[in-house]
Amino acid sequence: MADVPTVEADLTVVGAGPAGLYAAYYAGFRGLSCAVIDALPEPGGQVAAMYPEKLIYDIAGMPAVRGRDLVAGLVEQAARYSPNYLLGSPASSLVHEPDGRILLSTEAGTTVRTRSVVITGGIGSFTPRPLPAGRAHEGKGLVYFVPSLQEMADRDVVIVGGGDSACDWALSLESIARSVTLVHRRAAFRAHAGSVDALMASSVEVITDAQVTEIAGDDWVESVTITGKARDQQERKCQAVVAALGFTADLGPIEQWGLRISERHILVETTMETGVPGVYAAGDITDYPGKVRLISVGFGEAATAVNNAAAALDPEAGIFPGHSSEL
C-alpha cells in the first residue's frame, strides 16, 4: 500500500472561500504555516463556483468588485505567505493526537498534521432548490446560477425567485440580455432594500404573486407559462430560465467532529472558538447572537479566529497582531 501523504501546518483552514483565503493571509501575517483544504478544485468557494460575474457592493473600500476579481485579490494577498492549497477533496475526519496536534484527513487520502484549525466553509455540498416545472429542461436552458453573463447575451431571460441572487442576476443581465423578466411568488422580496429599489427602477419586467408553472420547448427552452394567484396565465417567450430559489446545504463529515451545530451552522464564542480544542470557525458557517452573514463580517471573524489561535499556540505572542502598515 502506498504511503498516505502527510502535510505539516501550524494552522489549517477548512474552506477556501473569501473568509478562508483571508484566514490564510492572516495566518502568514502571524508567522504561522498554513494549509487550506477545499472540496472545489479552485480557491474562491461559492463566489468563484457560482457567482464569478456578480458585482459585490459591500466590500469596504471597493465601490463594486466582481466575484472573480475579489477572489483573485484574496489569493494574491495570501500568496505572500505561500499557503499550501489542498484542493479538489473535502476534509473528512478530525482526530486529536495525545500531544495536542490535530490530524485532518481528506477524502483524497491526504493527512494534515496541524496545531489548530479554522473552519470557514467546508460544507459538503450545496444542492439548488429545484424549479418543479423545469426538471425536464435542466441543462437545456434552465440553470441555477450564471457563471458567465455573456452566455445570456441577446437572449430573453426569465428569472425565478425573490432573494438577493434573483435581484442581482436580474440587474446584472439587464444590459446584456435582450429582455429580463423576474417572477416571484410573493409581493414582498427577501433581498436587500437597495437591490429591490434598483430592480423596480430598472427595465426588468417584475411579475409578483405568480409562479412559473410550465416550460415549453423540445431541445431547448422556448417559453414559460406564468400563473398568478387568481389562476390567470400568461406566456413569455424566452431562451433561458434562471431558477434562483436558493440552495440546501449539507455539512457532510464536519457534523461528526463534535462541534455544537444548530441548523447547519457552527456555534462559536466571541473568540470564534467552537468548544472543540484547537478548532475555530469563521464566516457564513458560524452562528452566534446578532450574527450578520456578509463577506465583510467573515473577514473580521477570520482575523479574530486566527489571532486567537495564534495566541493559544504561543501565549507570549498575544492576540493583537500589530498594524500591517508597520511592516
Please give the average per-residue pLDDT across 302-307, as a whole number.
98
Tell me the pLDDT tens digit for each residue of 178-203.
999 999 999 999 988 999 999 999 99
Q: Is the pLDDT of residue 43 over 50?
A: yes
Overall average pLDDT of the 275-296 stretch: 96
**258-282 residue pLDDT tens:** 999 998 899 999 999 999 999 999 9
**Which candidate, 230, 250, 231, 174, places its Cα nearest to that of 206?**
174
Please check whether residue 64 lies inside any domain of the structure: yes
Are residue 122 and residue 270 in the same domain, yes or no?
yes
Are both 118 and 142 inside the same structural domain?
Answer: no
Separation between Cα atoms, residue 159 and residue 170, nearest integer Å: 7
Residue 122 above 70 pLDDT?
Answer: no
Q: At what angle do helices 18-29 and 295-313 cross, to 10 degrees?
A: 30
Whether residues 177 and 252 share a domain: the answer is: no
> Average pLDDT for residues 93-120, to the nearest whole number?
96
The answer, yes or no, to whether residue 102 has pLDDT greater than 70, is yes
Q: What is the reported pLDDT for 124? A: 52
Residues 119 and 48 in one domain: yes
- Residue 69: pLDDT over 70: yes
C-alpha cell at 287: 452562528
Say whether both 93 and 10 belong to one domain: yes
Rounded to two decimals, the pTM is 0.80
Count the helix, strand and coil residues of the chain and give each as a percent rounded to the nearest 5: 25, 30, 40
CA angle at 279 for the pair 274 and 281, rounded to the nearest 5°: 60
Predicted confidence at residue 162, as pLDDT, reads 95
**Are residues 33 and 163 located together in one domain of the fold?**
no
- What is the maximal distance between C-alpha atoms in the chain? 70
- Boundaries of domain holding 233: 130-243
148 with 115, same domain: the answer is no
Lowest mean pLDDT among 93-97, 300-304, 318-322: 318-322
Domain count of the fold of the chain: 2
The per-residue pLDDT of the chain, averaged, comes to 92
